[in-house]
Structure 1
């Protein structure tokens, strides 16, 4: 009887401890609720941050809550930096080419033909760049700090009408492509458009757009571009962009040290989940594209011509245009330095 009584007391103590969070929390701390602003629907780009949200709640027994608000509920895609400045929310996803004048150093991510095709190299380079003084300074102007890269895959293009099998076929096409990618397309004679992702499918429907460059393949499907398109490029790989995650500097500095440490210690987790999500989307989407769209594949000679026309000339123009704003040459060189470091470590 005494043994049963002791077991009952122990069970009662366990229930009591669980109710107060004593056993559930690996990280003790106050109740904090963070809002993150995001446009569009949940997708591979946000999977890593959703995993971070789950882990934050688990590790703190629900005391540190992180919630992503989708569909521009908190701010539109081009307004997230403004929202951070006025402390409207604690974090956001930003796409550098939505507001190039506001984050000029971040536009380095959108230069064409950077050495970021290998996912491991890409992850290393972007992680290092997120700590680069020029990248950090861009965000400080908006009361923000870089947190983690969106690791967007290489872009490809989906479009309507006649497929551009020759480089000359790009002449006059209205192509949604931002930053240096847009400049690269202009070198082929295309007309650059910088629409927010959520407006692109509508632009196709209205006949205001001929083609769109997005991270391949997940973003094309996420924004239903494949439903409007007739063809897709399979190996153009003109470059990528940076739709990364940043935190409100005021909110981050107000966090207790253990919460700050938790966030910084889990950046690799966020990126790993992102890359796995992109890969899973490719496995699902590629067969869909090949069944319903015309596949455009360029020869090595065509790709070499494209790189010659739209590689170094675009780099040089960008460096020259920004040399008085920050150390543009140094930032550009850092991309290649970090890429070499990553390759040497493999």
Structure 2
């Protein structure tokens, strides 16, 4: 017997068997095409870039069988109407944040973030092991969608102001573009909050329709050019410690997906959540240096302003909870998790972080 021929024949047979048990995914699964409008300008290569990244990963993990075509604001629907389009079945999915739609249900604000909330690390723990996904599922179900966490900006800045904020009185009458319930808390202190989509902020600031505006942080803010109009750059963005962006999927479209595609979609969203947060952490310090070198004036909100805003936020949560049992229930669970995490990280990490910050400043 020719042993070489036998080995070659066996190897060929094994390769053929492998082919049979590992079929090409694209031919084994249906070809699906979805449309995905988003709320974030195409000029922002981290926010809109994450939307593109997510679509690319879904395609790569299915050998091109599952394609998601992405669109910027206004190409299919306006920036702040993405949830309506997805829930109504106009499109299969959308890339946006729940707090843009809190007028439909105040609990949608919790889905994204609440003032004086959690860090991105704490937020991810809440989403994955703290029970948040199950709580949020009932909120999104009423809107006809399935919400999958798909991005996080990390801690944001407090925004660009034409004049300095030296105390609480300087907030009175201020027309401020601010998202979520941060605006409602500030309204208690005399601010006139404005909710505008990303593409509309610069023109409003330029024309004097608003006096101040916040968006995300140095990298995006530099691209949007706010520093050319309002020189004072404030921190921290206490209303958006770590806002989460979701891929909102029409509930029927999600239910109709093969199980393998659902797994792919969720895995791609998890990647995208961390991809966005990490990219901002890399790009924001570089952009901050450029902004300061160009004349931007960095300011911290005075302590009395921060304390007044914290008090106003807690009052707001109590008022909303008194009117909305679901918000009250979700907020109580969210707040209990936040408090426990804050106490733990204060011992485990914040102490070291503060020490290192002092040592670095002294070098």
In the superposition, the TM-score normalised over structure 1's length comes to 0.82
Q: What residue number does 1:164 align with?
A: 165
Q: What residue number does 2:114 align with?
A: 111
**Cα shift at 1:331:** 0.4
Change (3 A) 1:290 1:208: same
Retained in 2: the 8 A contact 1:96–1:103?
A: no
Change (3 A) 1:256 1:198: same
Q: Is the helix fraction higher in 1 or 2?
A: 2
- Deviation by residue 1:148-170 (Cα, 9 ceiling, x = unmatched): 15324334333343221323212
CA distance in 2, matches of 1:177, 1:60: 39
Retained in 2: the 8 A contact 1:36–1:89?
A: yes
Retained in 2: the 8 A contact 1:113–1:239?
A: yes
**Cα shift at 1:260:** 1.0
Q: What residue number does 1:62 align with?
A: 64
Q: Which runs of 5+ in 1 are unaligned?
A: none
- Deviation by residue 1:211-244 (Cα, 9 ceiling, x = unmatched): 1122223442454333332111023534355542
Retained in 1: the 8 A contact 2:120–2:155?
A: no
Change (3 A) 1:178 1:265: closer
- 2:273 aligned with 1:274, yes or no? no
- The alignment covers a number of residue pairs equal to 327
Q: Which runs of 5+ in 2 are unaligned?
A: 349-363
Q: What residue number does 1:199 align with?
A: 200
SS at match of 1:276: helix
CA distance in 2, matches of 1:322, 1:221: 39
SS at match of 2:69: strand
CA distance in 2, matches of 1:48, 1:236: 22
CA distance in 2, matches of 1:38, 1:94: 6
RMSD (CA atoms): 3.2
CA distance in 1, matches of 2:154, 2:191: 22
**Cα shift at 1:268:** 2.5
Q: What residue number does 1:335 align with?
A: 334
CA distance in 1, matches of 2:101, 2:29: 36
Retained in 1: the 8 A contact 2:160–2:213?
A: yes
Q: What residue number does 1:304 align with?
A: 307
CA distance in 1, matches of 2:161, 2:274: 34
**Cα shift at 1:57:** 2.0
**Cα shift at 1:253:** 1.3
In the superposition, the TM-score normalised over structure 2's length comes to 0.78
Change (3 A) 1:194 1:216: same
**Cα shift at 1:311:** 2.9
CA distance in 2, matches of 1:85, 1:250: 9
- 2:289 aligned with 1:290, yes or no? no
**Cα shift at 1:300:** 4.2
Q: What residue number does 1:183 align with?
A: 184
Retained in 2: the 8 A contact 1:145–1:247?
A: yes
Change (3 A) 1:245 1:56: closer
Q: What residue number does 2:246 align with?
A: 244
Within 5 Å, which residues of 2 pair with 1:46-85?
46-85=48-87
Retained in 1: the 8 A contact 2:114–2:181?
A: yes
Retained in 2: the 8 A contact 1:184–1:238?
A: no
